[in-house]
Structure 1
Amino acid sequence: MVLVSAFKDGYTALRANPILLVAGLFVGGGSQLQYVEHLIDPPLVSAGASLAWLVFFPFVLGGFLGTARAAVEGTDASVSHFVTAARTHYLRLLLGTVLFVVLVFGTAIGVGLVGFVLGIGSMALAAIHEMAAFTAGVVSLLLWLVAILAVILFVQFYDAAIVIEDQSVTDAFRRSVGLVRSNLKSVVGFSLAWLVLLNAFLIPEYLLQLTLTDAAPADVLPIDLGLPIAVLLPIGIVLSAVGFAYFYTVYTAYYLRLIAISPITTESV
């Protein structure tokens, strides 16, 4: 089974190539920059740090995916390979990331506008039948969420297509859509398992978010762990590093197995 094999490949590659943990540490530390505003007084410094991370992330991602591929295939997974892969694919990954965000937010706004129009109709329907109006509102909300998740599902492999198959930005998105369409059941299962397990590693980060907002962890959890930021922050960095390193290696291994059974054909070029 492709899904189970990918998780095994990821574990084997990570255990044999600890350099992937270093790359994961970059991401784990970088993801915590969104909380720097709570630790540094000047807001411009905080905003600058977050913006710098958004620009730098595609560089780290490209280097990681290239190195993870080498690790899974048993070739040269070295620092020099990481830097080469990062530099080679940076611009396309940056443009691809911008396009990915535009697609997701564009879908959210477009479907949201449709939902807004339907919401006006639901208000008129409420005067006739309240339950029918409530049902229509719930259905429109679910359709909005499904539309966003569907877009993410179908274009999620754009970064792997750029790095692993050296695709252009537009071709990478087409390749991702084609792979998902050809392997829909497998991709849905992988995406659900991958997302749930990755988020398990991000629990300290979520607790940190609660700590830095008006809502206390005890408002969400049945117990108050009472962990200060000074404790949650390093724990969050370490677990994010391990989580990113392992699950993005699994992501790479899964993509490699996916393209092995769905090679590029003349018709798809």
Structure 2
Amino acid sequence: MVLVSAFKDGYAALRANPILFVAGLLVGGGSQLQNVEHLIDSPLVSAGASLAWLIVFPFVLGGFIETARAAIEGTDTSVTQFLTAARTHYLRLLLGTVVFVFLVLGTAIGLGLVGFVLGIGSMALAAIHEMAAFAAGVGSLLVWLLSILVVIMFVQFYDVAIVIEDQSVTDSFRRSVALVRSNLKSVAGFSLVWVILLNAFFIPEYLLQLTLTDAGPADVLPIDPGIPVAVLLPIGIVLSAVGFAYFYTVYTAYYLRLIDASPVSTESV
């Protein structure tokens, strides 16, 4: 089974190449920049930190994916290789990340407007039948969320297509869509398992964000874990580093197995 094999490949590659944890640590530490706003009362500094992370992340991602591929294929890995790959693919990954964000946001906003119109209809329906109006509202929300997740699933492989197959930005999205369409059941299963397990490693970070905001963990969880920020922050960094290193190695391994069965069919633009 491709899914299980990818997770095994990721474990074997990570165990044999600890250098991948270095990139994971960069991501784990960098992801905490989103908490700067709560730690430092300065919107300008917060905006600068978030922008800096958006700019730096594609650099780290490009180097990581290439290094992960070398580790999976059993070839030599090094810091030099990481930096070279990061520089080589940086501009395309940065542009691809911007396009990805706009695609997801565009879908969310576009469907949100449709949902707003339907919401007006639900309000009118509420005057006739409250339960039917409630069901219509919940249904619209679920359709909105599902549609966004479907868009993400179809374009998710743009980054590995750029690094592994040297695709252009446009062709990387075409390649991702084509691969998902050809392997829909497999990709859907992999994406579900991958997202659930990855997010499990980010639980301390989520608790940290709740702790730093006005809404504490007790407002979301049935109990307040009572873990101080000084403990949550390092735990969040370490688990984010391990989670990123392992699951993005698995992600790369899965893509390599997909393209073995689906040769390139798009032409660079």
- TM-score band, normalised by shorter chain: over 0.9
Stretches of structure 2 that go unaligned for 5 or more consecutive residues are: none
Tell me the residue number matched to 1:160. Answer: 160
Q: Distance in 2 between matches of 1:54 and 1:245?
A: 18
Task: Report the residue type matching 2:62 in the other structure.
Answer: G
SS in 1 for 2:167: coil
Q: Distance in 1 between matches of 2:92 and 2:223?
A: 45
Q: Alignment RMSD, CA only?
A: 1.2
Could you state the TM-score of these two structures normalised by the residue count of structure 1?
A: 0.96
* Cα pair 2:38 2:213 within 8 Å, conserved: no
Tell me the residue number matched to 2:49. Answer: 49
Tell me the residue number matched to 1:97. Answer: 97
Tell me the residue number matched to 1:79. Answer: 79
Could you state the TM-score of these two structures normalised by the residue count of structure 2?
A: 0.96
Q: How does 1:71-220 map to 2 (within 5 A)?
A: 71-220=71-220
User: Compared with structure 1, are the counterparts of its residues 42 and 218 closer, same or farther at alpha carbon in structure 2 (3 Å cutoff)?
Assistant: closer
Q: Distance in 2 between matches of 1:132 and 1:41?
A: 45
Task: Report the residue type matching 1:82 in the other structure.
Answer: F
Q: Distance in 2 between matches of 1:39 and 1:126?
A: 44
Tell me the residue number matched to 2:224. Answer: 224
Q: 189-198 or 210-219: which moved more?
A: 210-219
Q: Distance in 2 between matches of 1:220 and 1:111?
A: 27
Tell me the residue number matched to 1:242. Answer: 242
SS in 1 for 2:215: coil
Task: Report the residue type matching 2:53 in the other structure.
Answer: W
Give the superposition deviation at 1:146: 1.1
Q: Distance in 2 between matches of 1:124 and 1:48?
A: 44
Stretches of structure 1 that go unaligned for 5 or more consecutive residues are: none
Alignment: residue pair count:
267
Matched residues, percent identical? Answer: 84
> Which portions of structure 1, spanning 4 or more consecutive aligned residues, are displaced by more than 6 angstroms?
none
Q: Distance in 2 between matches of 1:107 and 1:168?
A: 23
Give the superposition deviation at 1:41: 4.1
Task: Report the residue type matching 1:172 in the other structure.
Answer: S
Q: Distance in 1 between matches of 2:220 and 2:150?
A: 29
Give the superposition deviation at 1:131: 2.2
Q: Distance in 2 between matches of 1:41 and 1:138?
A: 37
Tell me the residue number matched to 1:2. Answer: 2
Q: Distance in 2 between matches of 1:58 and 1:115?
A: 33
Give the superposition deviation at 1:144: 0.7
Q: Distance in 2 between matches of 1:215 and 1:144?
A: 25
User: Compared with structure 1, are the counterparts of its residues 39 and 214 closer, same or farther at alpha carbon in structure 2 (3 Å cutoff)?
Assistant: closer
Q: Deviations over 1:184-220 (max 9, x none)?
A: 1100110011111111111110110111112222333
User: Compared with structure 1, are the counterparts of its residues 220 and 130 closer, same or farther at alpha carbon in structure 2 (3 Å cutoff)?
Assistant: closer
